Amino acid sequence: MIRSEKGMTLIELVMVIIIIGIISGVAMKSMDSAIETGRIESTRKEMQALADAIVGNPDLLNNGNRIDFGYVGDVGSLPANLDALVSAPGGYTTWNGPYISNNFVESSDDYKKDAWGVDYQYSAGLTITSTGSGSNITKRLASDAADLTSNSIRGVVLDAGSIPPGTHYSEVEISIDYPDGAGSTTGTTVNPAAGGNYALTGLPIGNHTVTAVYTTTNDTVISYVTVPPRSHVVNNIRFGYSLWAESGGSSGSGVEYVSGSATTTGGGSDVEFDITNNTGSSITIDWLKAEYTHSPDAYYERVRWNNASVANQTNPRYGSGDTAGFSTGKSIGDGATVTIKMQNFNTSQSGGGSNADMSGTTFTVTFSDGSSITFSI
């Protein structure tokens, strides 16, 4: 039998080559896309590592307390450049780096380059930027530098009988040492008010030690306080002995809720309640923090103090656990009563949404003097 075998024509061969070329082109484009995606993800991870090196990793905890605050926590300021993360600036004794682990650094300056080999853009600011992809990839460290370097610790000093210092206030010294932002440390010492209120301000993030001494007897209380970004931490101090029963101080505990005063207005979207001062002296309130549970989540826009607006924020609105800082400190005299209004509760944190009816909600409100009240509407 004679078998006839037919080969490929030139046209068929050309068509096969064209098809192979098309398939190869598609495969190359897919490969290029995968490589680019990998570089983007790698760069994002590196930028997060740099951010953690600068401001710390909030997920590193010990017994529930944050222990990592990075370069800013040790030095008290943002680094001038990325070199400061691996080499101490001259004369910086509080520097405790390097802040980037060895498994991150593949070469001496790899930590300063993105996945395309282009240097990150950073110069003592709040952002790290990668430009290697042709478009910017940005990692923000904080909303404002003050969130990292200008926080506060506030509270009330009382003795074992819940008596504030009264006439002995000048004999109580509350001190703190913290990094000064230039490689060394500085200290602040304050006296509380007669009613026991004190404030330590201008503090960088980090774990700080607050020491309270009643100089007359040398009784001492030491507190270890964690200061996260953008915070007004409440640290109440109580001595272990009855020191001031005859000092003229009142045994009050600070701001108190006026029973039965809480109500809602505006269809439930405004919350109103009264507070009174029982400390024995005038106090100044600089902020409040309201904590509550509502479904769906609810956010408020404004705080009024006796009908005067003292805090106003619409984008984003204040939420449960947020600190509403007052535009000016508000004074409340001993025995005086003030009406607080939290207005315009909404189901959206920024724009849109609908009014939230806060009826039936339980609130816990903490004030800058360290006082805390709880009420239900």
Query: What's the one-letter identity of residue 229?
Result: P
- pLDDT the model gives residue 282: 86
What does 255-300 look like in DSSP terms, one character per residue?
A: EEE-TT--EEEGGGTEEEEEEEE-SSS-EEEEEEEEEE--SS--BB
Domains detected in the chain: 48-140 (no CATH), 149-238 (2.60.40.1120), 255-376 (2.60.40)
The torsion angles phi and psi of 338, rounded to 5 degrees, stand at: -130, 145
- pLDDT the model gives residue 279: 79
Check pLDDT > 70 for residue 139. yes
Of these ranges, 159-163, 253-257, 355-359, the one predicted with the greatest mean pLDDT is 355-359
What percentage of the chain carries pLDDT values higher than 90? 60
How many whole angstroms separate alpha carbon 132 and alpha carbon 120?
Answer: 9
- pLDDT the model gives residue 361: 92
How many whole angstroms separate alpha carbon 166 and alpha carbon 250?
Answer: 8
- pLDDT the model gives residue 74: 98
- pLDDT the model gives residue 80: 96
Region 283-310: what's the mean pLDDT?
Answer: 93
The residue that leads in pLDDT, 38 or 279, is 38
Query: String of b and e for 19-30 (b: at least 16 CB within 10 Å)?
Result: eeeeeeeeeeee
- pLDDT the model gives residue 242: 87
How many whole angstroms separate alpha carbon 1 and alpha carbon 22?
Answer: 41
CA angle 153, 228, 350 (to 5 degrees): 105
Check pLDDT > 90 for residue 27. no
- CA-closest candidate to residue 109, choices 97, 96, 119, 95: 119
Check pLDDT > 60 for residue 249. no
> 13 pLDDT band (50/70/90 cuts)?
confident
Which of 20-29, 279-288, 304-313 comes out lowest in average pLDDT? Answer: 20-29
- pLDDT the model gives residue 220: 96
- pLDDT the model gives residue 252: 52
User: pTM above the 0.85 mark?
Assistant: no
> 4 pLDDT band (50/70/90 cuts)?
low
Inter-CA distances, 318 with 149, 251, 328, Å: 22, 33, 18
Q: Residue 142 corresponds to which tokens in the numbers above?
A: 């904080």
Region 241-251: what's the mean pLDDT?
Answer: 66
Cα 375 from chain centre: 26
Region 273-290: what's the mean pLDDT?
Answer: 89
Region 128-140: what's the mean pLDDT?
Answer: 93
What does 310-331 look like in DSSP terms, one character per residue?
A: EEE--TTPB-TT-EEEEEEEEE
- pLDDT the model gives residue 244: 86
- CA-closest candidate to residue 359, choices 258, 260, 271: 271
Specify whether the CB–CB gap between 225 and 151 falls below 8 A. no
Average pLDDT, the chain: 88
The residue that leads in pLDDT, 162 or 312, is 312
> 348 pLDDT band (50/70/90 cuts)?
very high
CA angle 21, 26, 31 (to 5 degrees): 120
Cis peptide before 98 (omega within 30 of 0): yes
- pLDDT the model gives residue 11: 79
**pLDDT, tens digit (0-9, with 9 covering 90-100), for 145-155:** 999 999 999 88
- pLDDT the model gives residue 281: 81
Q: Residue 146 corresponds to which tokens in the numbers above?
A: 């003050």
How many whole angstroms separate alpha carbon 78 and alpha carbon 316?
Answer: 26
How many whole angstroms separate alpha carbon 7 and alpha carbon 126?
Answer: 69
What percentage of the chain carries pLDDT values higher than 70? 91
The residue that leads in pLDDT, 213 or 322, is 213
How many whole angstroms separate alpha carbon 309 and alpha carbon 265?
Answer: 17
